[in-house]
Structure 1
Amino acid sequence: MKALFATRCRYNAWANARLYAAMASLAPETLAAPSAVNFGSIVAIANHLVLADRLWLTRFTGQGQPVPSVDAVPYPALADLRAACRIEEARAEAFCRGLDAARLGETLSYVTTDGTPMALPLALCLDHFFNHQTHHRGQIHGLLGAHGLKAADIDLLGFERETATYAGLGQA
């Protein structure tokens, strides 16, 4: 399972790079244009992803600043947003590199942003972490298309065909 999560880290960075490259071709006003989607715009969804990644990585590692809300837009400028995203990508990769089977079997206890105590298997929370990213990247990908951009493919198996990351970890 560790190899799968390590692959997902690399996949996320690869998919993010493709989306950010496409987003860079849009004007800041277009990125922030209101839309009837979660969080209201492309840049707001991307900010949500950074904040949610930061929130979960702080829960996973016990390190980092608390994230009181995942609905804010602290990075309205794409360059700042991309830099923040890269920081969280690096944190995720470091965390996954350090995982062991025993840790994956543990329960993660945390408090939600609304104050609800939770206790769930770490492996499930980590799977949610990656699934959440995929979900919102799909929204961004669709919105880019709605603005006339054909963004590069961000499919997990396309990543594997291009990089052989999972196979390279001896998991083919």
Structure 2
Amino acid sequence: METIRRLFGHMRWADETILTALDRQSPADSENAKLFRHVLIAERVWLTRLEGNDSSGFVLWADEADLTELKKLARNNADGYDAYVARLTEQRLDEIVTYRNMSGVPFRTSVRDILLQVALHGQYHRGQINRALRQQSLEPVNVDYITYERTIGSATREG
């Protein structure tokens, strides 16, 4: 369980770090914001499924993304995952979640695999955003797990 907690602590930090980088862009790059919106909506979709609710009303890709709304969504996602993971036990990681994907196709996936999907999916797209920042001659931000661990993670556990 500790690994899962750390992954989601990293996700909160990495999302906040990317938001800070997007906030510094002037003017804000709409493609980067739309890509990051996709990350946040995917996080929300999976949390909704984990909670046993229907996720069909979400739109994974949108034409626009407002930074203020993205900040609110990121905070709500992080709080939601913190609460979900806090209630989770090692035994429940192997429970099966039944859901429909965005096309309506039914699937069954373990809680463990869903949580890993959420963590890895976001990191993949954060890398794409960093690549775009570099192509725009802007400084990419370090969202590596080990950087989180060295600067934030271990400090929060030490107390």
TM-score by length of 1: 0.83
> What's the counterpart of residue 38 of structure 1?
none
Shift of the alpha carbon at 1:166? 9.4
1:17 equivalent to 2:6? Answer: no
Aligned to 2:74: 85
Look up the match of 1:37. Answer: none
Equivalent of 1:163 in 136, 145, 152: 152
CA distance 1:166–1:70, shift in 2 (3 Å): farther
Residue pairs, 1:29-108, within 5 angstroms = 30-32=28-30, 41-63=31-53, 66-73=56-63, 76-108=65-97
The runs of 5 or more residues in structure 2 that have no matched partner are none
Which protein has the bigger helix share? 2
Match of 1:122 in 2: 111
Alpha-carbon spacing, 1:44–1:130, altered in 2? closer, same or farther (3 Å)? same
Q: Alpha-carbon deviation of 1:65?
A: 6.3
Distance of 2:57 and 2:6 partners within structure 1: 26
CA distance in 2, matches of 1:145, 1:91: 32
Structure 1 residue ranges, 4+ long, deviating more than 4 angstroms after superposition: 63-66
Cα distance change, pair 81–68 in 1 and its aligned pair in 2 (3 A) = closer
Task: Report SS of the residue matched to 1:150.
Answer: coil
Maintained 8 Å contact 1:7/1:166: no
Deviations 1:48-77 (Å, cap 9, x if unpaired)?
111111110000012586434311256x22
Query: What's the CA shift string for 1:25-60, capped at 9, x where partnerless?
Result: 1134x411xxxxxxxx20111111111111100000
> Counterpart in 1 of 2:25?
26
Structure 1 alignment gaps of length 5 or more: 33-40
Question: In the alignment, residue 149 of structure 1 is paired with which amino acid?
Answer: L
Aligned residue pair count: 158
Q: What is the TM-score with the length of structure 2 in the denominator?
A: 0.89
Which is worse superposed, 19-28 or 127-136? 19-28
